[in-house]
Chain A
Amino acid sequence: MILALALAGFILFDVGMSEEGVAASVTPAVVWRVILRHTPLLARTVPAPQTPDEIRTEAKFDNLVWRIRMPRVVGGVIIGMLLAMAGVAFQSFLMNPLADPYMVGVSAGSALGSAIVILLGGFGWLAGLGQSLAAFVAGMLAMLFIAGIARIGGRLSAQTFLLAGFVMGAFVYSITKLVVALANRSGDTGRAGAILSQLLGSLQLVDWRSVLLLLPFGVLGGILLWTSARELDMMALGEESAARLGVNTEAFKRRIIAAGSLVTAATVAVAGIIGFVGMVVPHIARRLVGPNHVRLIPTAMLLGGLVLVASDWLSRVYLHQLEVGVITSLFGAPVFCYLLRTRLAARW
């Protein structure tokens, strides 16, 4: 569809653009040359460097574009898709327009997990994998805890889930502040800053390894969600109606929560907390293609990828590496206000 093409086009454009310090030598032509060299069929169309100087410079460009910039952009797309996906899932399942991965409390839990690992000085350990792992586990634990609170008489109540997520998020946030204060006092000055980076959300440190980590979640989560598209439609009518239509509501709820939380925890583990994408993108997508989940889910995913890559583009090229999470929040809130005022958010 048009959106997919727009996304692909924007990605190509974004990859070509460099921040001002680097743009002089790393021109879009250079970038696309490197990318072509890495594509299996087209590699031969690109001339190879001849002199030792050229070889060295090309190697430098190759390193920069392929090992630093490409994973950042690709990672951004995937994260945007995952967040939008989780947003759609939580909003439909909770029947609440304010639901997003952050509101549900999972992001906060993941961030706390990372923060504790950083405080304990575990950064070097397992080369950062330990931190991602902790973020992931903490996010899942948070989700289990919230689901536990929300379980009334063996049934998972959607409203209680959201409230429990809210409270959990606030509580976890206060513990995270404690961790930051402790990190500030520890001898190693880098730690408080590292935790703060997590809370602000940034794509600076996304590399191919992170992308590899995200990919299975993207694929699994996407498949799970798309196959649940019809059931999500029915859940939107209300739980009793859905049950009458044959949906196994309890199992379905558990599946959706698990998928949404997994996906969110993975993004926080890699890039920190990036807010508002999960909340606002589903609404815009709904406005574009309507509430039918079969079309809504892919649209939201593409849109989410686009939004995040656009924010990262702004961050990288114009805003001196301002953290992406800050940009999405700054834009997300006014957009959401606009949607509210034009009553589009309420149209389910």
Chain B
Amino acid sequence: MKAFRPIAFIAVILLILAIGIARYGTGRFAPVPPPIPPVRMPDQTDPFRAGTGGRSTPTARTPVQAAPETSGVVLPPGSSFPVTLNDAQGRAVTIPARPQRIVSLSPGTTELLFDLDAGDRVVADTTACDWPAEAKRKPHIGGPFDMSLESIVAQNPDLIVADGSINQKIIVTLENANQPVFVVQAKTIADTYDTIRLLGRATGDTTRAEAVVELMQTRLEAVKKSVSKALSRPKVLIIHEFSGSGVYTTGKGSFIDDLITLAGGQNIAQTNDPLSIEKVAMEEPDVIIFPYGSSSEREHCKAISGWASVPAVRNTAFFEPSPNATLVRPSPRNALAAWELARFLHPEIPLDPIQPDAAAPASSRAGSRK
């Protein structure tokens, strides 16, 4: 079997190469860092938690350890530096001075940074960052899924804000390169408040952060109160895209679901699993939400012959958030989306106009209802 020997030899070499690359392929011949156990932000189910709201005791200028069991974000008081904070993945990040060169790695984090009046200190963001308008004019370091380490490092950042749900690969790369990465992640509305507070502390403006959180809470509460008068809850389906498995949607445990419920709707999806065409035909949703506002999804809905009797398709009850609102990024703009959705789901209930943001800096207030 002489023919086998060279083949076996090559196969072994390739195997060694593959293992070597997998182990050391991060570029430095350093041991693979142990996986960081993701510590989720503690869960708050009621956005109006009275009481502590997570302020730490006055004795703290000491570094704070994340304790998953306690509720609320525990932050060092004041807005001074240096400060050590635990980010959403349990990483203890020390920020030596007020960050002046911030790089944002996702559209969601960019929005929040601008809301916290740190927009002028953001030196670069991604090509997908489109809110507010100034974010589009910043230098870009690539898209949210295809950015390079070099472009980020070239900006000489003192704080890199990343989103744990979409930037995972680059986060690991940044850590290995000893870059100041700070990860946030929001699964529920409560997480969004925590994220705003955390970022506010990290960028040195806790007063503004509290104001943003309070305004968002006020607006959401107003919608929730108005909608409580509703007699029924229309059945809602949120469609992200169509696929061979059916419809990609979002179920319980996410802020999108929270927003739908808060706006007086009833999400027909229980989990994040795709729903088959048959299942949707059985559930007969009254309203379909297209969070990205794509026309191809709408057309597709109308083209499915088995859905002609579904109320949402029959009445063309399709909802799309306005350009000033968002349902899919955790941000204060969710409040406007909830308000618009409530108006769509319950046209019979008069809603108070949404409370304006009096404290917003003029640049981000101009031309947009926040």
Contact = CB atoms under 8 A, between A and B. Distances in A.
Interface of A: 18-19, 21-22, 25-26, 59-60, 63-64, 67-69, 118, 121, 123-125, 127-128, 184-185, 188-191, 193-194, 196-197, 200-202, 204-205, 207-209, 272, 316, 320-325
Contacts of B99: none
Contacts of B300: 123-124, 128, 190
A276 to B, nearest CB: 16
Given A60-B282, A196-B243, A204-B246, A124 B306 contact: no
Contacts of A125: 299
Given A189-B294, A204-B276, A26 B244 contact: no
Interface in B249-297: 273-279, 281-282, 284, 292, 294-297
B242 A194 contact: yes
B367 to A, nearest CB: 21
A321 to B, nearest CB: 4
Contacts of B243: 193-194, 196-197, 202
Nearest to B130: A187
A128 B284 CA distance: 23
B246 A321 contact: yes
Contact of A19 (B240, B279, B302): B279
B248 A19 contact: no
A303 B245 CA distance: 25
Contacts of B281: 60, 63-64, 68
Chain B residues touching A, range? 35 or more
B298 A124 contact: yes
Given A25-B282, A124-B299, A127-B299, A316 B276 contact: yes
A-B pairs, top 6 by smallest CB distance, nearest first, are A124-B299, A202-B244, A68-B306, A323-B244, A190-B241, A197-B244
19 contacts: A19-B276, A21-B275, A22-B278, A22-B282, A25-B282, A59-B309, A68-B277, A68-B281, A68-B306, A69-B278, A121-B296, A124-B295, A188-B296, A190-B294, A190-B296, A204-B276, A320-B245, A320-B274, A321-B274
Contact of A190 (B274, B297, B309): B297
Contact of A26 (B277, B282, B297, B305): B282
Contacts of B143: 185
Given A64-B282, A124-B298, A190-B297, A205 B245 contact: no
B60 interface: no
A184 B275 CA distance: 23
Give chain A's interface secondary structure class. Answer: helix
A18 B242 contact: no
B145 to A, nearest CB: 8
Contacts of A19: 276, 278-279
Nearest to A188: B294
B244 A208 contact: no
Name, among B143, B240, B244, B302, the residue most crowded by chain A CB atoms within 10 Å (CB to CB): B244
B244 A124 contact: no
Contacts of B248: 193
B245 A204 contact: yes
B50 interface: no
Contact of B244 (A60, A121, A123, A204): A204
A188 B300 CA distance: 14
B299 A60 contact: no
Given A124-B303, A320-B245, 20 more contacts: A21-B275, A63-B281, A63-B308, A63-B309, A64-B282, A64-B306, A118-B296, A124-B298, A127-B299, A188-B296, A190-B240, A193-B241, A197-B242, A202-B243, A204-B244, A207-B304, A207-B305, A208-B305, A320-B273, A322-B245
Nearest to A192: B241
A205 B302 CA distance: 13
A135 to B, nearest CB: 15
